[in-house]
Amino acid sequence: MTPEHLKILHLEDSPQDAFLIATLLRQAFPGLELIQVDDREAFLGQLADPDIRIVLSDYALPTYDGIRALAESRQIRPDLPFIFLSGSMGEDLAVECMKIGATDYVLKSSLKRLPAAIHRALGETDLRRTLKEATRVAKVVPWYWDDGDDTWLFGPLAMDVLGYPAELLQTTHGFLKSKIHMEDLLRFGSSFLLARERERMEFDCRILHGDGRWLWTRWTMPRHPAGRHRAARDPGSPDPESAAGDPGHDDRRHHP
């Protein structure tokens, strides 16, 4: 998917090469904002702009070089994709650049590869950001299976993360399941069942937050220490025993 607005920082000292690259990228990315610089001072000044989503850099410049630019970029913006553009970079040198943090490299003789390389780099960055968000959420969404009550229990922090009132989650059967992204619904249901047979279970899924945004979440579900093993149940079906439980209990009884 082509982003509606894309801001790229381009470190290049050749006006001719800069023009060719700008022409190619404006055709591939209609919403492109391309910032071209040719020295360290200008590069570092633009690097501080949070709207910059990717760096393109020549390998050799008169007063600066791509390796130093990569090192300083990694120090200041470690998650920012960095693609080398070079007219003479050999394969061995390209591999070494990848080892020290470059996202990709494109030879200037093969510039038609550049749009695809940018798409790939942006996609990988978005995926890493998503996984980091899921990991952050995992710390505050603990779930426990209580075999004694044949139900899942969760604390108030989970409700803070999901954005729904405790009473709604506690009393409305199938409510949470109805908020799971369609593509994740099968994994959501099967993971609850698999967790019944394991001491610990983790899975990721997207959920429609109470404020209307889709949120990646990671569910960490260890077995309740005091639980007793009982047969698994479809996570979308009501449970008469737990539905009749005391609504004032400190833990929230929940059926997805």
Report yes or no on 1 lying in a domain.
no
> Rounded distance, CA 158 to CA 68, Å?
44
Report yes or no on 55 lying in a domain.
yes
The pLDDT-based confidence of 82 (bands split at 50, 70, 90) is very high
Which domain, by its residues, includes 215?
Answer: 139-254
φ, ψ for residue 248, nearest 5 deg: -90, 0
Report yes or no on 71 lying in a domain.
yes
Task: Give the number of other CB atoms < 10 A from CB of residue 10.
Answer: 23
Report yes or no on 147 lying in a domain.
yes
The pLDDT-based confidence of 138 (bands split at 50, 70, 90) is very low
Q: Which of 132, 166, 187 is a domain's end point? A: 132
Same domain, 10 and 92: yes
Q: Tell me what the pLDDT averaged over the chain comes to.
A: 76
Return the residue matching tokens 């059926």: 255
Same domain, 45 and 69: yes
Same domain, 116 and 146: no
Same domain, 176 and 106: no
Both structure tokens of 241: 């025993």
Same domain, 114 and 154: no
Report yes or no on 228 lying in a domain.
yes
CATH number of the domain to which 67 belongs: 3.40.50.2300
Instruction: Give whole-number Cα distances, 88 to 40, 82, 184, in Å.
Output: 21, 18, 46
Same domain, 125 and 146: no
Find the mean pLDDT for residues 200-219. Answer: 80
Angle at 82 between CA 81 and CA 88, to 5 degrees: 150
Report yes or no on 179 lying in a domain.
yes
How much is the pLDDT for 244?
A: 27
Same domain, 157 and 206: yes
Same domain, 64 and 96: yes
Tens of pLDDT along 4-59?
Answer: 789 999 999 999 999 999 999 999 999 999 999 999 999 999 999 999 999 999 98
Report yes or no on 99 lying in a domain.
yes
> Rounded distance, CA 96 to CA 179, Å?
46
Same domain, 11 and 68: yes
Q: Which of 91, 107, 132 is a domain's end point? A: 132
Same domain, 106 and 213: no
How much is the pLDDT for 234?
A: 37
Q: Which of 110, 132, 154 is a domain's end point? A: 132
CATH number of the domain to which 243 belongs: 3.30.450
Same domain, 18 and 121: yes
Same domain, 47 and 111: yes
Tens of pLDDT along 141-159?
Answer: 555 555 665 556 655 566 6
Residue 233 has pLDDT above 50, yes or no: no
**pTM (2 d.p.):** 0.54
> How many domains is the chain built from?
2
